[in-house]
Structure 1
Amino acid sequence: MKNKKLKIKLPAFNLQEILIVLVIIGILLLLALPNLMPLISKAKSIEAQTQLKYIYNSQTSYRYQYSKYSNDLSAIDFMPPKTVKENGTANYEYEVIQATNNDFKVRATAVTDFDGDGVFNIWEIDQNGNPQQTVKD
């Protein structure tokens, strides 16, 4: 007696069907991406707002101690996080624009252009403690 091998055919997708599905997904992503860019930009700007509020609190504490605001971020114990240009995760660079006895202004400038239009997002905070977006990306 000869052994007969049973051939079982399993249902599966072929290469053409898989490629068509991938093309359809790609087209849907291209359609959805422009609508998501403002949300991505807004989410990244939360980093600047959070860091600026921390700087405001640190500047306020420094003023209570020394009766003036600091020109140096390291003097208020603020270590800027590494930016994406420095292989870090931060999207903003921080700098003190002005600091006197009665007022200060700190600026957060985006290091990358979030939506590719050539405009970099800028946020500022002053002695009043409200982050303001001065340049919208």
Structure 2
Amino acid sequence: MTYYRSYLGNAGFSLTELLVVIVIIGVLVLLALPRFTSVIDKTKTTEAKLQLKHLHTLQKSFFYEHDRYSASPGEIGYEQSPLVSEGGSARYKIEIVSADGRSFL
């Protein structure tokens, strides 16, 4: 004859133990969150720098071909990605404010 043991004494973790673990995980997340936001800010800054370097390279190439800088990003082949507010992925709007034969801004 087979007897089945009752495992009621070893039911698992108590509610208090689970709540303590959840609170500890929450505190650890709150401590780590500021470090992640600084990484995100660095990423956004790097994205803007890369876009500006790309625009600068296009302007230099245009200058070598036409002996002047362009005031229009489209004329040099630069296409602005749609901004995040417009449903795109770009966080910064890159514009050429002014350009002449010697410089551009």
TM-score (norm 2): 0.78
Please give the alpha-carbon distance, in whole angstroms, between the structure 2 residues aligned to 1:11 and 1:20: 18
More strand by share: 1
- TM-score, reference length from structure 1: 0.62
Structure with more of its chain in helix, by fraction: 2
Give % identity.
37
1:1-137 aligned within 5 A: 12-105=12-105
Runs of 4+ in 1 over 4 A off after TM superposition: 3-11
Which one is further off, 36-45 or 69-78?
36-45
> Which structure would you say has the larger Rg?
2
In structure 1, what residue type is equivalent to 2:78?
F
Amino acid at match of 2:17: E
- Residue deviations 1:12-52 (CA, integer Å, cap 9, x gap): 44444333322222212222323443332112111011111
RMSD: 2.4
Q: Secondary structure at the match of 2:75?
A: helix
User: Matches of 1:24 and 1:102 in 2, distance apart?
Assistant: 61
Worse-matched range after superposition: 9-18 or 65-74: 9-18
Report deviation, 1:76: 1.2
Per the alignment, do residues 8 and 82 of structure 1 end up closer, same or farther by CA in structure 2, a change over 3 Å counting?
farther
**Consecutive unaligned residues in structure 1, runs of 5 or more:** 106-137
